[in-house]
């Protein structure tokens, strides 16, 4: 059981569940173009069993019944994403079926009284744009602006909220420095460019949407708390650098129009010409800030070249992902973000949840959700303006390089029959959301 009721949260506090297009839709359907995730998955060694998003959860044809389950649970909002390659298969030419699909999906949400919270880009870059350099190419900001105008020109009138890019850190660092996600590069120069262009594209999309007269626009950033492995100055410095390129780079760029000095020490020499002149675009005023939070990392220095540190195993209980369960980090990020970056701006938890092997009797997930909602409560009582909590994920799905075996859903998905079965966590949240006083 959840230990909260809806009435424990401020009036108007939104509860929702999240998904993303490539992870659930079934990307081989509906005339979507090839993406850099398809290329990455087709290259042996990148993705477990070389699995891809061709069919995924077949949400493309099943979205109506999925939304019935979302509504039956009592959720207020649904966070989803729009696939660039579905709307523009080669990155620039429009696929009318793709636009029609998101139009129908939007209306299906509204018919059920669910607030559509869109993310424009959750990682499925059209391969044709990756051929041109993808996130390394400054022109991506312009291309992304055009995609934004195309998709939001069609559905923007009915969105509750929109954020341009899910988790800029994953687009920049995880995909270009660590090579864990598409395009799978391990290249510091590519990283510096992607880390900057992803924010330039963010700001360009915000400008495009303001031009369409839209409001309630925000950004969705991911956060990991960095705990030094010990109290030596070297470990503290290492953790500060992790915090710098993971968390502070993006908040700094968007809300302070500057990047952290400790990160520029390493990335500075590789930045594209004229990056200092881009902050007026990057720092476009926002209406809210979204935080995705799952875990922390314990960081120790090492003798590698910059950033000269590594993650070391921590002592806390872990999820199926091997991620430590550390709810304190969520409380600390909510209060720190408000105190240092966003002030009174509404904050939303836009992703939080756990992967588990426990099947439909997922008591571990219920405990995780309780602990993290407690962290939200603590942040609220310290004055952080938290306005909503969106859990990851509505259903088990394609967990990127880890394929289909990491299960984050409130709904169990049988990937042979594609049948959905509500888990105990779904029922527990449903019960919580029904308790209005």
Instruction: Give whichever of 24 and 159 is closer to ligand FCB, judged by the CB atom.
Output: 24
Which of 399, 407, 420, 429 binds ligand FCB (CB under 6 A)? It is: 399
The backbone torsions φ and ψ at residue 318, rounded to the nearest 5 degrees and listed phi first, read -120, 155
Bridge-based pairing of strands 218-228 and 309-312 is unpaired
Residue closer to ligand FCB by CB (options 288, 293) is 293
Closer Cβ to ligand FCB, 95 or 292, answer by number: 292
Instruction: Please state the closest distance from residue 423 (CB atom) to ligand FCB, in A.
Output: 16
Cis preceding-peptide flag for 183 (omega within 30 of 0): yes
Q: For residue 415, give the 3-state DSSP assignment.
A: coil
20 contributes a contact to ligand FCB by CB under 6 A: yes
What is the closest distance, in whole angstroms, from the C-beta atom of residue 368 to ligand FCB in the complex?
13
Least Å from the CB of residue 317 to ligand FCB: 18
Contact status: 404 vs ligand FCB (CB under 6 A): no
Residues in region 214-253 near ligand FCB by CB under 6 A: 222
- Which residues in 357-396 contact ligand FCB (CB under 6 A)? 392
Picking from 372, 405, 416, the residue whose alpha carbon sits closest to that of residue 15 is: 372
Catalytic residue numbers? Answer: 167, 351
Q: Taking every pair of C-alpha atoms in the chain, what is the biggest distance, in angstroms?
A: 58
Which residue's structure tokens are 């079934």? 26
Instruction: Figure out which of the listed residues 121, 333, 341, 400 binds ligand FCB, where binding follows CB under 6 A.
Output: 400
H or E element, residue 224? strand 218-228
Residues between 157 and 216 that touch ligand FCB (CB under 6 A): 166-167, 170
Q: Which residue has the tokens 């009915």?
A: 158
Q: Minimal distance in Å, beta carbon 31 to ligand FCB?
A: 23
Q: Which of residues 27-86 bind ligand FCB (CB under 6 A)?
A: none
**Distance in Å from the first CA to the final CA of the chain:** 17
Among the residues of 268-398, which ranges form H helices?
279-282, 328-337, 363-381
CB-nearer residue toward ligand FCB: 9 or 144: 144
| Least distance from ligand FCB to the Cβ atom of residue 265, Å | 26
Interstrand relation of 420-422 and 411-413 (parallel, antiparallel or unpaired):
antiparallel
Which string of b and e fits 191-226 if b means at least 16 CB within 10 Å?
bbbbbbbbbbbbbbbbebbeeeebebbbbbbbbbbb
Count of residues of this chain found to bind ligand FCB when the rule CB under 6 A is applied: 12
Query: Cα–Cα distances in Å, from 42 out to 48, 91, 271, 369?
Result: 11, 20, 30, 35
Where in 110-139 is the site for ligand FCB (CB under 6 A)? none
- Fill in the per-residue mask, 321 to 350: x = in contact with ligand FCB (CB under 6 A), - = not in contact: ------------------------------
102 near ligand FCB, judged by CB under 6 A: no
| Separation of alpha carbons 418 and 209, rounded Å | 36
The string over 64-90, giving b where at least 16 C-beta atoms fall within 10 Å of a residue's C-beta and e elsewhere, is eebbebbbebbbbbbbbbbbbbbbbbe
Strand 420-422 versus strand 386-392 pairing type: unpaired
Contact indicator for 295, 326 with CB cutoff of 8 Å: yes
Please say whether the beta carbons of 188 and 267 come within 8 A. Answer: yes
Q: Which of residues 281-300 bind ligand FCB (CB under 6 A)?
A: 292
Helix, coil or strand: residue 107 = helix
**9 versus 63: smaller Cβ distance to ligand FCB:** 63
Specify the residue, 9 or 246, whose C-beta has the smaller distance to ligand FCB.
Answer: 246
Residue 332 tokens read as 């600390």
Question: In this complex, which beta carbon is closest to ligand FCB, that of residue 279 or of residue 323?
Answer: 323
CB of 406 to ligand FCB, least distance (A): 8
Closest approach, Cβ 371 to ligand FCB, in A, equals 17
Pick between residue 246 and residue 255 the one whose CB is nearest to ligand FCB: 246
Q: How far is the CB of 234 from ligand FCB (least distance, A)?
A: 29
Which residue ranges make up the site for ligand FCB (CB under 6 A)? 20, 23, 166-167, 170, 222, 292, 351, 392, 399-400, 408
């Amino acid at each position: 059981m959840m230990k909260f009721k809806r009435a424990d949260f401020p009036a108007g506090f939104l509860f929702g569940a999240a998904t993303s297009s490539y992870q659930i839709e079934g990307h081989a359907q509906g005339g979507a173009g090839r993406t850099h995730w398809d290329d990455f998955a087709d290259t042996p060694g990148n993705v477990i069993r070389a699995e891809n998003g061709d069919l995924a959860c077949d949400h493309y044809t099943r979205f109506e019944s999925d939304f019935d389950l979302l509504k039956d649970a009592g959720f207020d909002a649904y966070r989803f994403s729009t696939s660039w390659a579905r709307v523009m298969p080669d990155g620039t030419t429009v696929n009318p079926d793709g636009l029609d699909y998101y139009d129908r999906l939007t209306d299906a949400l509204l018919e059920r009284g669910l607030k559509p919270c869109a993310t424009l880009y959750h990682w499925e870059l059209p391969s044709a744009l990756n051929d041109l350099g993808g996130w390394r190419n400054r022109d991506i900001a312009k291309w992304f602006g055009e995609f934004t105008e195309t998709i939001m020109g069609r559905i923007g009138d009915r969105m509750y909220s929109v954020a341009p890019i899910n988790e800029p850190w994953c687009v920049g660092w995880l995909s270009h420095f660590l090579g864990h996600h598409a395009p799978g590069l391990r290249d510091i120069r590519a990283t510096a460019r992607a880390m900057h262009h992803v924010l330039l594209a963010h700001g360009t999309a915000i400008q495009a949407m303001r031009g369409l007269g839209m409001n309630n626009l925000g950004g969705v950033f991911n956060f990991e708390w960095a705990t030094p492995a010990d109290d030596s100055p070297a470990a503290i410095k290492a953790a500060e650098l992790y915090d710098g390129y993971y968390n502070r780079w993006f908040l700094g760029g968007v809300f302070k129009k500057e990047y952290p000095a400790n990160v520029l020490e390493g990335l500075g020499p590789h930045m594209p010409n004229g990056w200092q002149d881009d902050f007026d675009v990057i720092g476009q005023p926002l209406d809210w800030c979204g935080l995705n939070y799952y875990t922390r990392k314990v960081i120790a220095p090492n003798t590698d070249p910059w950033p000269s540190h590594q993650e070391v195993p921590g002592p806390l209980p872990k999820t199926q992902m091997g991620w430590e369960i550390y709810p304190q980090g969520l409380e600390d990020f909510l209060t720190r973000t408000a105190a240092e970056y966003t002030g009174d701006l509404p904050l939303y938890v836009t992703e939080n949840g756990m992967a588990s092997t426990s099947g439909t009797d997922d008591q571990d997930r219920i405990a995780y959700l309780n602990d993290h909602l407690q962290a939200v409560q603590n942040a609220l009582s310290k004055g952080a303006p938290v306005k909503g909590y969106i859990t990851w994920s509505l259903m088990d799905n394609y967990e990127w390089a880890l394929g289909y075996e990491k299960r984050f859903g409130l709904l169990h998905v049988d990937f042979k029959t594609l049948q959905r079965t509500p888990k105990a966590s779904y029922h527990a949240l449903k019960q919580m959301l029904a308790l209005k006083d």
